[in-house]
Structure 1
Amino acid sequence: MPPALDRIRVGSAPDSWGVWFAEDPAQVPWRRFLDEVAEAGYAWIELGPYGYLPTDPRVLREETDRRGLKVSAGTVFTALHRGPAVWEETWEQVARVAELTRAMGAGHLVVIPSFWRDDKTAELLEDPELTPDQWRLLARGMERLAREVLDAYGLALAVHPHADTHIDTEAHVERFLDATDPDLVHLCLDTGHYAYCGGDSVKLIETYGERVGYLHLKQVDPDVLADVTRRGTPFGPAVRQGVMCEPPGGVPALEPVLAAAQGLGVDLFAIVEQDMYPCPPDKPLPIARRTRAFLRSCGA
């Protein structure tokens, strides 16, 4: 039997049910998501895109309580490398999500940087590389956001490296971590996105373990990734091509990632996210059951 991963709290997210937007006819209704994520054996969920699940905390708490579910985090997108001009707009979005996140008893806010290219058309929206001044604005902006979210809502900030954003590759992630206050800014390590961008999750945990405050569990299909990389396919079409696959069929191997995370000696959420937008409505539940069984076999 594998050693018990008693510091790892496993959950799943609307993303694993093909949910990317607050409203979209291609997505399963929110009640079905809640029913099925509980049926698959998960106790923890994320909020997903704000407005997909009920935003009235009384309603949402009633719905989650009766299914034995609890919320681990909310998620926001930001473009803080653009400087003070975007602060008010950013805070307006963050405050809505943070308020609901706190009301649901969660302690984390996952922050995803804005995309530098359109995830459907591949149109360049910005230069893929930030200037030194933009890196400075990004670092200071994330520190300010972390401080104000903690002060106002008691939530810990976890920045999510993501494909087609400015925090993606190993070099970019390390530059970001080295430029930000370790007491304020932590990382949501998404194993799939990091592998998609060429990173080694175990190495990151071993090198910057004190910065890892949250995990997303995901794998990539190396054959599909090779084609995506060769063609320069943007992230959205890559997902439709099946670049994110069901574990344990892809990379990175999750067993050593979970063992390294357990070795940090702190409690960590490990939320399954298998990007599948869009997907047939009957596809997610069997995958979720098998993934939960696989993670149990790893000791989680």
Structure 2
Amino acid sequence: MIRLAINPLTWTNDDMPELGAETPLETCLAEARQSGFAGVELGNKFPREAAALKPILSRHGLALASGWYGSRLLERDVDAEMAAAEPHIALLTAMGCTACVFAEVSRAVHGERGTPLSRRPVLSDADWAVLAPRMTEMGRRLAARGLRLAYHHHMGTVIETEAEIDRLMASTGPEVGLLLDTGHLTFAGGDPVAAGRRHAARIAHVHCKDVRAPVMADVKTRDLPFLAAVLEGVFTVPGDGSVDFAAVFAMLAEAGYDGWLVVEAEQDPAKAHPLTYARLGHGTAERLAAASFGARFSPAAA
């Protein structure tokens, strides 16, 4: 079944908490449902205990699609990583999630406001030899808990480019799934459709993020930090940028993808009115998902 979710970054930002700081969680959830979404991902205002979170989401008729986990497998072994991740794993499983959004954040610069993206970390062969087997084992252990590791390639991290995604998929076992993020891959100079076709069997989760191509070209020319690029408006929701979502969804349908399509766009809510953009993202995703997936698409009642 294909369902639509939204990330609360539309309303309030995790990496820049001052963006949307005044917006209560209830507003995020009410407007997500008002826009027609069936689910949400975790954000910094969400309670992290299932007993507290379940009744809140239930009140708004929303499911939890997943939530971000930043790993440090380059710095610690799998036992230590599993111990660090346990509260997150327990929350996702208790909430009925089937995928864990998983990104390696060792050495990452995406949260550093003064570090340009050109200075982001690049793995050596020795680093790959450490990371890949640990990632496979992490995927194995998450699977034992009922969760698919959905690896999130991300600007400013060690897995950013299409070539790095290819190497990660080639050097890890099938226990490591792929979170295909259309915006991050486009920003990194990649092709979401081509990469998706190559790794179709591994796609475990999808982030539907659009890119404003003129802004992307400008921030690359100026070599801005990631968060500065966000503030410049490099990302937006589907239907407001240059990503060909009709082609992306057609590829996913052909691949037999089953799961959430998550609308996500880090924007300044003072410049990009959250409800307006949530509705635009949902409308675009709903129309294209219905066309591509047919009866497998389950729209939420608005």
Displacement of 1:71: 0.8
Q: Which amino acid aligns with 2:35?
A: A
Q: Distance in 2 between matches of 1:282 and 1:14?
A: 13
Give 1:158's aligned amino acid: A
Kept in 2: contact 1:83–1:141 (CA 8 A)? no
Residue in structure 2 matched with residue 35 of structure 1 by the alignment:
30
Question: What are the Cα deviations for residues 253-280 of structure 1, in whole angstroms up to 9, with x where unaligned?
Answer: 111101110111231211011111x422
Q: Aligned partner of 2:146: which letter?
A: G
1:161 corresponds to: 153
**Which amino acid in the other structure matches residue 95 of structure 1?**
E
Distance in 1 (CA, whole Å) between partners of 2:239 and 2:60 is 27
- How far is 1:125 from its partner? 12
Query: C-alpha displacement at 1:129, in angstroms?
Result: 1.6
For residues 247 and 266 of structure 1, do their structure 2 counterparts lie closer, same or farther at Cα, with a shift above 3 Å needed?
Answer: closer
RMSD over aligned Cα atoms: 2.3
The aligned counterpart of 1:44 is: 39
Residues 120-172 of structure 1: CA deviation (Å, up to 9, x unaligned): 01179986221111011111121121112222x21111000000111111111
The answer to whether 1:204 aligns with 2:195 is yes
Using a 3 Å threshold, how does the CA distance of structure 1 residues 282 and 168 change in structure 2: closer, same or farther?
Answer: closer
Output the amino acid matched with 2:36: G
Structure 2 counterpart of 1:285: 275
The structural deviation recorded for 1:296 is 2.2
Give, in whole Å, the separation in 1 of the partners of 2:121 and 2:53.
38
- The share of aligned pairs that are identical, in percent, is 30
Q: What SS does the aligned partner of 2:255 have? A: coil
Q: Give the letter aligned to residue 154 of structure 1.
A: G
Q: 1:215 offset after TM fit, Å?
A: 0.3
Aligned partner of 2:214 in structure 1 is: 223
Report the TM-score when normalising by structure 1.
Answer: 0.88
Gaps of 5+ in 1: 1-6
Offset from partner CA, 1:55-108 (integer Å, 9 cap, x none)? 231221111112111111121011222353x852x3343111111111111111
Does 1:149 pair with 2:142?
yes
Count of residues in Structure 1 that have an aligned counterpart in Structure 2:
287
- Are 1:83 and 1:138, in contact at CA under 8 Å, matched by a contact in 2? no
Match of 1:172 in 2: 164
2:6 corresponds to which residue? 12
Q: How far off its partner does 1:112 sit?
A: 1.6
2:257 aligns with one of 236, 254, 266: 266
Q: Distance in 1 between matches of 2:283 and 2:262?
A: 14
TM-score calculated relative to the size of structure 2:
0.88
CA 162–21 in structure 1, closer or farther in 2 if over 3 Å, else same: closer
Taking the aligned partners of 1:33 and 1:208, their CA distance within structure 2 comes to 33
Distance 1:99 1:242 in 2: 35
2:82 equivalent in structure 1 = 91
- Structure 2: segments with no counterpart, 5+ residues: 291-302
After superposition, the C-alpha distances for 1:200-240 in whole angstroms (9 at most, x for unaligned) are: 11111211111111100001111111111112111111000
Quote the Cα distance in structure 1 between the aligned partners of 2:220 and 2:271. Answer: 29
SS in 1 for 2:199: helix
For the 8 Å contact 2:4–2:263, the answer to whether it is kept is yes
In structure 2, the residue matched to 1:4 is none
User: 1 CA distance for matches of 2:271 and 2:59?
Assistant: 23
CA displacement at 1:282 relative to structure 2? 7.8
CA deviations on 1:170-197 (whole Å, 9 max, x unpaired) are: 1111111110002x00000000000000
Task: Look up the SS of the partner of 1:188 in the other structure.
Answer: strand
Asked whether the 8 Å contact 2:120–2:156 carries over to 1, the reply is no
CA–CA distance in structure 2, aligned partners of residues 58 and 250 of structure 1: 39
Code of the residue aligned with 1:168 in structure 2: it is E
**Alignment equivalent of 1:61, drawn from 39, 54, 57:** 54
How many Å separate the matches in 1 of 2:180 and 2:31? 25
The answer to whether the Cα contact below 8 Å between 1:130 and 1:166 also exists between their aligned partners in 2 is yes
C-alpha distance 107-12 of structure 1, shift in aligned 2 (>3 A): same
Of 66, 81, 86, the match for 1:73: 66
